[in-house]
Amino acid sequence: MSFAIELNNVSKIYQGKKAVDNLSLKVEKGTVIALLGPNGAGKTTTISMILGLKQPTSGTIKLLGGSPKDISVRNRIGAMLQEVSVIDNLKVAETIELFRNYYSNPLSLQELLRISGLEKEKDKMAASLSGGQQRRLGFALAASGDPEIIFLDEPTVGMDVTSRQMFWDTIRSMADKGRTVVLTTHYLEEADSLADRIVVINQGKVVADGSPSQIKAETTGRVISFTAGTSVTSEQLLALPGVIDVEWNGRRVKLQSRDTDRLIVTLIEQRIDMKDIEIQSGGLEDAFQAIVHSTN
Ligand SMILES: Nc1ncnc2c1ncn2[C@@H]1O[C@H](COP(=O)(O)OP(=O)(O)OP(=O)(O)O)[C@@H](O)[C@H]1O
């Protein structure tokens, strides 16, 4: 089977520090995949290497079966990176036209203005757009060649709710056309509602990989919360076997654990002063936090 993206044992070391650590990942064509992870997890470095903008220290990368540096491969992909730089003295429509000209089968200007929601701004100078509008322009440029794979690095940062919703619809329609979409996001809600597959990265490694429902199911029962008596301390709770993280809200405490069944027995055996005990199955946010904490 040919994959849209294939990474084999890829590492990137900056000044002795591993930003990406022996990462292997295969992405099937037509997938919407979200790379999730805290700041500094290695998401942007991974995308930059897939795009051939950064050279891996070791390992191999294939994009559409070829090298990310092949011009024939480049023509079939589009990317919107975190920094969208606009060209001075060009209007929005002129900027889009400039990019369309690079490709043999570009989307029409009208279509690009429509999917990026920039129809009203088409005659404005690109440099005068707001931050959110500039990101939408970045998206139009990334989509201009009607790419088979589109990379979106934190695409909705700075977008208002309406723009974000419209943007999600556009991504879904790209996926419906069989396009592969790779996005990084800090918004778990975004990953949950858009992606077929979520890959959680922490400290340069894949720490979870599955559908949003698999990721949630994996962590079912991972959180125990209760109202703690005044004698209970964080140190005491963190010392209990299986406790990954302790979070307080007044006297209400939330424990993250890999094995809540065992933890509840331990809490009772150790006569921890607890009231109103709850075991939560956890949403995606809890799943993400639990996975990241357990791998720190
Ligand atoms: N050019 C560089 N030189 C040195 N270290 C770097 C460089 N670029 C990234 N790093 C380091 O590599 C690690 C991974 O960074 P990266 O930007 O890939 O993370 P990220 O997951 O995209 O984070 P964010 O969500 O904040 O964008 C971080 O520790 C970062 O400080």
Closest residue CA from atom 4 of ligand 1:
14
State residue 11's pLDDT score.
97
Residue ranges making up the domain that contains 27: 5-211
Q: Would you say the CB of residue 199 lies under 6 angstroms from ligand 1?
A: no
Structural domain includes residue 289? no
Strands 223-228 and 274-280: antiparallel
My answer on whether 94 and 167 are in the same domain is yes
230-233 contacts at long range (C-beta below 8 A, 24 or more positions apart): 230/273, 231/273, 232/272, 232/273, 232/274
Q: Would you say the CB of residue 68 lies under 6 angstroms from ligand 1?
A: no
My answer on whether 96 and 125 are in the same domain is yes
My answer on whether 187 and 272 are in the same domain is no
My answer on whether 163 and 119 are in the same domain is yes
Closest residue CA from atom 24 of ligand 1:
39
Strands 180-185 and 149-153: parallel
Q: Would you say the CB of residue 212 lies under 6 angstroms from ligand 1?
A: no
> Chain-wide mean pLDDT for the chain?
89
State residue 131's pLDDT score.
85
CA 23 to ligand 1 centroid distance, Å = 15
Q: Would you say the CB of residue 40 lies under 6 angstroms from ligand 1?
A: yes
Query: 211, 246, 262 — which closes off a domain?
Result: 211
Q: Would you say the CB of residue 19 lies under 6 angstroms from ligand 1?
A: yes
My answer on whether 276 and 188 are in the same domain is no
- Using the predicted structure, report yes or no on whether residue 3 has a pLDDT greater than 80: yes
Q: What CA–CA distance (Å, rounded) separates 293 from 208?
A: 12
Which ipTM did the prediction report? 0.95
CA 39 to ligand 1 centroid distance, Å = 8
Which pLDDT tens digit goes with each residue over 256-277?
A: 887 788 899 999 999 999 999 9
My answer on whether 96 and 127 are in the same domain is yes
State residue 141's pLDDT score.
94
Closest residue CA from atom 16 of ligand 1:
42
CATH number for the domain that contains residue 126: 3.40.50.300
State residue 255's pLDDT score.
92
Q: How many structural domains compose the chain?
A: 2
Average pLDDT over residues 60-65: 95
Q: Would you say the CB of residue 37 lies under 6 angstroms from ligand 1?
A: yes
Q: Would you say the CB of residue 54 lies under 6 angstroms from ligand 1?
A: no
My answer on whether 272 and 125 are in the same domain is no
CA 37 to ligand 1 centroid distance, Å = 12
Of 252-256, 260-264, 279-283, the range with the lowest mean pLDDT is: 279-283
From the alpha carbon of 15, which atom of ligand 1 is closest? Answer: 4
Query: 211, 242, 271 — which closes off a domain?
Result: 211
Ligand 1 test: best mutation among 36, 39, 157, 205, most atoms within 8 Å of CB?
A: 39
Apex 35 CA angle, 32 and 36, nearest 5: 130
- Using the predicted structure, report yes or no on whether residue 144 has a pLDDT greater than 90: yes
CA 26 to ligand 1 centroid distance, Å = 22
- Using the predicted structure, report yes or no on whether residue 162 has a pLDDT greater than 90: no
Token pair in block for residue 265:
């027995």
Q: What CA–CA distance (Å, rounded) separates 217 from 141?
A: 37
Query: 178, 193, 211 — which closes off a domain?
Result: 211
Average pLDDT over residues 126-141: 90
State residue 295's pLDDT score.
64
My answer on whether 243 and 121 are in the same domain is no
CA 168 to ligand 1 centroid distance, Å = 26
Confidence tier at 37 by pLDDT (50, 70, 90): confident
From the alpha carbon of 201, which atom of ligand 1 is closest? Answer: 21
**Count of all residues that appear for the chain in the document:** 296
- Using the predicted structure, report yes or no on whether residue 96 has a pLDDT greater than 90: yes
My answer on whether 31 and 161 are in the same domain is yes
My answer on whether 196 and 249 are in the same domain is no
State residue 253's pLDDT score.
96
CA 42 to ligand 1 centroid distance, Å = 6
Average pLDDT over residues 197-204: 92
My answer on whether 138 and 270 are in the same domain is no
Structural domain includes residue 291? no
Confidence tier at 282 by pLDDT (50, 70, 90): low
My answer on whether 90 and 188 are in the same domain is yes
Average pLDDT over residues 156-182: 87
Ligand 1 test: best mutation among 43, 46, 48, 81, most atoms within 8 Å of CB?
A: 43
Confidence tier at 287 by pLDDT (50, 70, 90): low
Structural domain includes residue 256? yes
Structural domain includes residue 234? yes
| Prediction pTM value | 0.78
State residue 111's pLDDT score.
95
Residues 6+ apart with CB under 8 A from 3: 26, 27, 28, 29, 62, 65
Structural domain includes residue 295? no
CATH number for the domain that contains residue 248: 3.30.70.100
Q: Would you say the CB of residue 14 lies under 6 angstroms from ligand 1?
A: yes
